[in-house]
Amino acid sequence: MRVSLFAAMLAAVFAVGCNQNTRAVADRDNTAVNERDKPNEALTPIDQNENKPDLNITAAVRQRILKEDVSVNARNVKIITQDGAVTLRGPVKTQAEKDLVEKIAKEVAGDSKVDNQIEVEENP
């Protein structure tokens, strides 16, 4: 009896984990957006300045986002800091996530130093 209960619990955990992983893979796929941005002058993570103040701003924004209950896309939003100015890019599931990420960035960098280019998915 104990073995079958353990097997049932293990199967349930596996099923839930597989379902979450499937969603996470779908969330992470913003290939079309990345392809779209290649030829543009749009900022990408490669444009991140490597000086300590800019790296600290980017890290602080990312750490605060990761503490929130948001989608994988919101957790993976691009944060590019140049000379104290933060550009936010990438897709999120909802307008509320977009607003939250922007609020966090403004609290870290200052209201006038955030360019929010985050896009809300049409069919989340």
Percent of the chain with pLDDT over 70: 60
pLDDT band (50, 70, 90) for residue 59: very high
CB 94 within 8 A of CB 120: yes
Measured distance CA(74)–CA(78) in Å, rounded: 9
Question: Is the pTM value of this prediction over 0.95?
Answer: no
Per-residue pLDDT tens digits for 11-58:
554 444 444 444 444 444 556 655 655 556 676 666 666 789 999 999
Per-residue pLDDT tens digits for 69-91:
999 999 999 999 999 999 999 99
